[in-house]
Amino acid sequence: MAEIALETHGLTMRFGGVVAADRVDFRLQARELRCLIGPNGAGKSTFFKCITGLQSPSEGEVWMRGIETTGWMPHQVASLGVGIKTQTPNVLDSLSVHENVWLAARRFHGAREADRKTREVIDLLDLGAIAKDGLGRLAHGERQRVELGLVAAGDPWLILLDEPAAGLGAEDVERLTGIIRELNRQATLVIVEHDMQFIRSIAETVTVFHQGKVLMEGHVDRVMSDPVVRNVYLGRKA
């Protein structure tokens, strides 16, 4: 049996009277790539934040590679070897691309090894031409790509991405698809995403969230043709 990379038991998150995530049981094999989908407010982002430590769940447990990480801080989760990209771009604006990636690499490597790793990541993500530019001056697509570089620089075995394709043009999305495939050779991935076309191009298995619960889990084609899922997405009529 393959190793379990990520697992939650009864994960629940309440904000006042609102239950944003409701007893979510989730399980992911190592090297799997899973997309989380669902309409706005379905709870997938809350679920994501509870896993990454950005929020602490009200109830339930989170396990990563057999270690319980419930209620950990983001830096503790990241230190396990988990790469995280949040929904809003989080980069170091007044530093250069090289500095950004170097700082990410330095967390897991000595200074000299971090230099080498930085060059490697910059090559991998094709950032060489802009390596010396400050992040504040880059276009949105480039910033997204740099942030993926920050994730990749830590050699993570588990990667959590919140809407990586948001706001990207067709060309950038294509590039992103390639990068994600590349990352998936080493790591398990969880991707929260809206863009169905993009999801079809990268994922086989998707998990559908609805009203804080897991509505369905299965192959992307089967899920998308399911009448219940179509109902959730398109409203009551379909």
Partner 1 sequence: MPGGLTRDAVTIALVTGVLIWVLPLIVGTYTLTVLAIYGMLGLSLGLIWGFGGILCFGQAAFFGLGAYAYAIFAINIGESTVPMILAVLVPAVFAALLGAMMFYGRLGDVYLGVITLVVTLILYKVVNSTAGPQYVIGNARLGGFNGIPGFPTLNVPGTPDAYIWGDRYFHVCAVLLGLVYMLVTALLRSSFGRIAVGIRENETRMSLMGYDVRARKTAMFAIGAGIAGLAGGLFANWAEIVTPSLFSLGQSAEIIIWCIVGGLGTRLGPVLGAAGLAYLKFLLGQQAVIDNALVTGLVLVLFVLFLPKGVVPALSDLWSAGIGRIRPGRIGRRRQPRRRGWPNG
Which stretches of the chain bind partner 1, using CB under 8 A?
52, 73-75, 78-79, 84-86, 90-96, 99, 102-104, 106-108, 111, 132, 134, 150, 154
Residue with smaller CB distance to partner 1, 95 or 196: 95
Q: Which residue number, 74 or 218, has a Cβ lying nearer to partner 1?
A: 74
Tokens encoding 46? 């809350």
Output the smallest distance, CB 187 to partner 1, in A.
15
At its nearest, how many Å lie between partner 1 and the CB of residue 161? 12
Q: How far is the CB of 94 from partner 1 (least distance, A)?
A: 5
- Diameter of the chain measured on Cα atoms: 60
Nearest to partner 1 of 42, 62 (CB atom):
62
Phi, psi at 34, each rounded to 5°: -125, 130
| Spatial separation of the C-alpha atoms in residues 114 and 119, rounded to whole Å | 9
- Alpha carbon distance 100, 118 (integer Å): 9
* Nearest to partner 1 of 52, 188 (CB atom): 52
The CB-of-111 to partner 1 minimum distance in angstroms stands at 6
Per DSSP (E only), the strands in 17-131 are: 18-29, 33-37, 59-64, 67-68, 82-85
Closest distance of CB 110 from partner 1, Å: 9
Identity of the residue, 57 or 154, whose beta carbon is nearer to partner 1 in the bound complex: 154
The Cα–Cα gap between 90 and 97 comes to: 13
**Residues 6 or more apart whose Cβ sits within 8 Å of residue 67:** 80
Alpha helices in 95-134 (DSSP H): 97-106, 111-124
